[in-house]
């Protein structure tokens, strides 16, 4: 046993563990995830011999900027397996330059971290070295990571060399904050914006990684890790490495429950149950569900983000958006069901309430208390009708929500005191009234049919407004069934006639005319007229308040 332990220790010392982010760093261009446009551009440039002297890679962390720079270095210096090859978009990976560059030991490929070499003296060393030809490679290549960290003097010292470097020198820059790179440097580089990697592509990549590592993992677990990575392959591989270690020797491998526990995420099923309780207005149950998640270690901010994701998913489903591939079948079915029941106004109100709640939770010293108050605010708001519904009730004479609970009562004739019998007074049948003007009608329509209301506002010239009859002269085609939409607002059996007879100006034309009159009145006022006389080049501009510039 002692001998086995010694052998294991020797193996551990000779082959130290490499984290997944390093082990699965791209070694070929076809291994770069989600950067097809950049690879195509580079490939065409290499094949046609149109190579720039300086490249700038920018993008969020972990999308492959430094890896791309090393791949470009290999592509430019590869000599092929037979030693006779030239620059290629598919470096062989077996020739000495390719292997030396991949291992970071090639004498002609110099990597510099600008975060620790920010001064002009560091750049002066590069300027002095570029005069000499490459020792063994085709090109001498300088890879400067986080180039935005260079000082202003260092950038200025590099400019002339960067603009006219020797033919044997190439510069490769990488940065996460391209806005901090001087425009004089940007104009001398060929820029590539590396895209943030989608969660779907990351989940597929992680599936290949766990397969190569011979580790089992649930697809939902990989989707959670891909979401948490926020477009960064390196961050995702680091989280996956941690998840594999967290799972240990369990036969089931990496599970979604373990990933949620590790990342402090709320179970999406729990989020959906909480969302259902919010819609039902069950305040005690909402507080109990929040407390349960808190005991499980879920941060209130994470819970609010989950609720916001649910509202966003419902709104996308209602708008006919493409489903998120990372969602489970149960989640998609639940979101589709809610999308069929909730209106756009309700969803937008929920989004604003939850977004405000998240802001309060993240900034307060008492996040749990802030979470309870924010959720109770959502509970009470869920029972209120939206503004369009309130307007419809007002116009139709229906009672408001506060009057629905108890009908008014009146004492019986001759009765008094506690023994008097009471009878319920039946509410009078609601009287449906149409809006008094066409403008009021359009305002009412906007609550339920915003697109139609906009067309009526901009294109409809009114010939006759006598509810339930309405005669219009459309300046442009008006979509939809106008009469049906009007009956949704005031069900009085509307009869809408489209005519080619001239009518009154449209509401938009009336507003423009009123604005023109207002501008004319302002210009003709003595004070403003004096200002324009003193300053001939002045203009009347409109802001939150009228001002003269």
pLDDT tens for 424-461 read 334 444 556 788 888 888 888 887 788 888 888 888 89
User: pLDDT band for position 143 (50/70/90)?
Assistant: very high
Residue 400: predicted pLDDT:
57
User: pLDDT band for position 467 (50/70/90)?
Assistant: confident
Q: State yes or no: pLDDT of 242 exceeds 70.
A: yes
Residue 547: predicted pLDDT:
46
Tokens of 328: 């489970």
Map tokens 């001498």 to a residue: 140
Residue 288: predicted pLDDT:
92
Task: Give tens-digit pLDDT for 95-122.
Answer: 999 999 988 889 999 998 888 888 888 8
Rounded CA gap, 358 and 269, in Å?
Answer: 20
Q: State yes or no: pLDDT of 395 exceeds 80.
A: no
Please, what's the b/e burial string for 449-485 (b: 16 or more CB within 10 A of its CB; e: otherwise)? beebbebbbbbbbbbebebbebbbbbbeebeeebeeb
Peptide bond between residue 158 and the one before it cis (omega within 30 degrees of 0): no
Q: State yes or no: pLDDT of 415 exceeds 60.
A: no
- Cβ count within 10 A of residue 408: 9
User: pLDDT band for position 144 (50/70/90)?
Assistant: very high
Tokens of 143: 């890879």
The closest alpha carbon to 395, from 449, 433, 444, 450, belongs to 433
- Which is the CATH superfamily of the domain at 20-193? P-loop containing nucleotide triphosphate hydrolases (3.40.50.300)
Residue 307: predicted pLDDT:
92
Mean pLDDT of 184-206: 88
Q: What angle do CA 493, 499, 503 make, to 5 degrees?
A: 100
Residue 224: predicted pLDDT:
84
Residue 359: predicted pLDDT:
92
Q: What is the DSSP letter of 254?
A: B
Task: Give tens-digit pLDDT for 146-181.
Answer: 999 999 999 998 898 888 888 899 999 999 889 999
Burial of 62 (0-12, 13-18, 19+ CB in 10 A): buried
Rounded CA gap, 371 and 291, in Å?
Answer: 10
User: pLDDT band for position 295 (50/70/90)?
Assistant: confident
Decide: pTM greater than 0.85.
no
Residue 505: predicted pLDDT:
92
Query: In this structure, which topology does domain 199-263 adopt according to CATH?
Result: Helicase, Ruva Protein; domain 3 (1.10.8)
Phi and psi based region of residue 10 (left: phi greater than 0; alpha: psi -120 to 50; beta: remaining): alpha
Long-range contacts of 424-431 (CB under 8 A, 24+ apart): 427/399, 430/396, 430/397, 430/398, 431/397
Of residues 285 and 549, more confidence is placed in 285
The closest alpha carbon to 177, from 225, 115, 131, belongs to 115
Residue 412: predicted pLDDT:
36
For all residues of the chain together, what is the average pLDDT?
81
Mean pLDDT of 305-313: 90
Of residues 193 and 423, more confidence is placed in 193
Q: State yes or no: pLDDT of 419 exceeds 60.
A: no
User: pLDDT band for position 4 (50/70/90)?
Assistant: very low
Query: In this structure, which topology does domain 268-382 adopt according to CATH?
Result: Zinc Finger, Delta Prime; domain 3 (1.20.272)
Q: State yes or no: pLDDT of 370 exceeds 90.
A: yes
Mean pLDDT of 301-317: 89
Of residues 534 and 354, more confidence is placed in 354
Q: State yes or no: pLDDT of 10 exceeds 50.
A: no
125-139, 378-392, 470-484: the lowest-pLDDT one: 378-392
Q: State yes or no: pLDDT of 9 exceeds 80.
A: no
138-152, 306-320, 374-388: the lowest-pLDDT one: 374-388
Beta strands of 105-215 (E only): which ranges? Answer: 109-113, 140-145, 169-175, 190-193
Tokens of 112: 């510099």
Alpha helices in 402-524 (DSSP H): 438-445, 450-459, 482-489, 507-524
Burial of 59 (0-12, 13-18, 19+ CB in 10 A): buried
Q: What angle do CA 192, 198, 199 make, to 5 degrees?
A: 150
Q: Which helix (H) or strand (E) holds 424?
A: strand 422-424
Of residues 7 and 317, more confidence is placed in 317
The closest alpha carbon to 172, from 48, 64, 31, belongs to 64
Q: C-alpha 226: how far from its chain's center?
A: 15
User: pLDDT band for position 496 (50/70/90)?
Assistant: confident
- Asked whether the beta carbons of 101 and 77 are under 8 A apart, the reply is yes
The closest alpha carbon to 97, from 62, 141, 131, 39, belongs to 141
Residue 423: predicted pLDDT:
35
Q: CB within 8 A of 173, min separation 6: which ones?
A: 54, 55, 56, 57, 69, 143, 144, 147, 181, 185, 189
Q: What is the DSSP letter of 148?
A: G
Q: State yes or no: pLDDT of 89 exceeds 80.
A: yes
Residue 389: predicted pLDDT:
62
Rounded CA gap, 410 and 424, in Å?
Answer: 7
Q: DSSP string of 46-57? A: HHHT---SEEEE
Residue 414: predicted pLDDT:
39
User: pLDDT band for position 544 (50/70/90)?
Assistant: very low
Rounded CA gap, 298 and 246, in Å?
Answer: 18
Task: Give tens-digit pLDDT for 338-368.
Answer: 888 888 888 888 999 999 999 999 998 899 9
Domain boundaries, the chain: 20-193, 199-263, 268-382, 438-504, 508-548
The closest alpha carbon to 433, from 444, 417, 422, 423, belongs to 444
Residue 14: predicted pLDDT:
54
Percent pLDDT > 90 in the chain is 14
Q: State yes or no: pLDDT of 11 exceeds 70.
A: no
- Asked whether the beta carbons of 172 and 142 are under 8 A apart, the reply is yes
Residue 375: predicted pLDDT:
93
Rounded CA gap, 396 and 384, in Å?
Answer: 18
Mean pLDDT of 382-402: 62
Q: Do the domains spanning 20-193 and 268-382 agree at the CATH topology level?
A: no
Mean pLDDT of 503-528: 85
Phi, psi of 440 (to 5 degrees): -65, -35
User: pLDDT band for position 304 (50/70/90)?
Assistant: very high
- Cβ count within 10 A of residue 46: 18
Distances (CA, A) of 105 to 52, 99, 134, 146, 428: 24, 9, 14, 21, 91
Beta strands of 146-198 (E only): which ranges? Answer: 169-175, 190-193
């Amino acid at each position: 046993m002692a001998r086995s332990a010694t052998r294991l220790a020797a193996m551990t010392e000779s082959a130290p563990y490499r984290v997944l982010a390093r082990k699965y760093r791209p070694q070929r261009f076809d291994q770069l995830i989600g950067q097809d446009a950049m690879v195509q551009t580079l490939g065409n440039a290499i094949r046609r011999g149109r190579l720039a002297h300086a490249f700038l890679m920018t993008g969020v962390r972990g999308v492959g900027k430094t890896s791309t720079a090393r791949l470009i270095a290999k592509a430019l210096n590869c000599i092929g397996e037979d030693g006779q090859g030239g620059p290629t978009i598919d470096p062989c990976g077996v020739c000495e330059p390719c292997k030396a560059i991949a291992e970071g030991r090639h004498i002609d490929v110099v990597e510099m971290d600008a975060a620790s070499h920010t001064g002009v003296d560091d750049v002066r060393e590069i300027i002095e070295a570029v005069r000499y030809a490459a020792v063994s490679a085709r090109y001498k290549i300088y890879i400067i990571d986080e180039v935005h960290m260079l000082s202003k003097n260092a950038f200025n010292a590099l400019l002339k060399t960067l603009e006219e470097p020797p033919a044997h020198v190439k510069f490769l820059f990488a940065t996460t904050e391209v806005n901090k790179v001087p425009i004089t440097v940007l104009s001398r580089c060929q820029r590539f914006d590396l895209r943030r990697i989608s969660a779907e592509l990351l989940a597929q990549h992680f599936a290949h990684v766990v397969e190569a590592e011979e580790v089992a993992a649930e697809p939902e677990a990989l989707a959670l890790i891909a979401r948490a990575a926020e477009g960064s392959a390196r961050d995702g591989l680091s989280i996956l490495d941690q998840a594999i270690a967290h799972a240990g020797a369990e036969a089931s491998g990496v599970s979604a429950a373990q990933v949620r526990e590790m990342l402090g995420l709320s179970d999406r099923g729990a989020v959906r149950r909480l969302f259902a309780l919010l819609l039902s207005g069950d305040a005690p149950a909402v507080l109990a569900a929040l407390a349960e998640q808190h005991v499980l270690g879920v941060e209130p901010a994470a819970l609010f983000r989950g609720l916001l994701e649910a509202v966003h998913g419902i709104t996308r489903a209602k708008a006919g958006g493409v489903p998120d591939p990372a969602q489970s079948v149960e989640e998609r079915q639940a979101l589709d069901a809610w999308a069929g029941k909730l209106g756009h106004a309700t969803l937008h109100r929920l989004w604003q309430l939850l977004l405000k709640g998240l802001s309060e939770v993240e900034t307060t010293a008492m996040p749990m208390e802030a979470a309870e108050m924010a959720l109770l605010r959502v509970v009470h708001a869920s029972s209120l009708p939206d503004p369009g519904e309130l307007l419809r009730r007002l116009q139709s004479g229906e009672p408001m929500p506060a009057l629905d609970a108890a009908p008014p009562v009146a004492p019986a004739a001759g009765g008094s005191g506690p023994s008097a019998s009471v009878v319920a007074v039946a509410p009078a049948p609601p009287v449906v009234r149409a809006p008094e003007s066409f403008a009021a009608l359009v305002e009412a329509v906007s609550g339920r049919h915003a697109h139609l209301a906009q067309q009526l506002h901009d294109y409809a010239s009114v010939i006759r407004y006598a509810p339930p009859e309405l005669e219009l002269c459309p300046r442009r085609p008006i979509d939809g069934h106008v009469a049906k939409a009007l009956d949704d607002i005031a069900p009085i059996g509307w009869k809408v006639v489209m005519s080619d007879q001239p009518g009154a100006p449209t509401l938009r034309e009336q507003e423009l005319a009123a604005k023109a009159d207002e501008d004319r009145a302002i210009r003709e006022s003595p004070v403003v007229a004096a200002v324009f006389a003193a300053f001939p080049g002045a203009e009347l501009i409109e802001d939150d308040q009228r001002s003269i510039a």
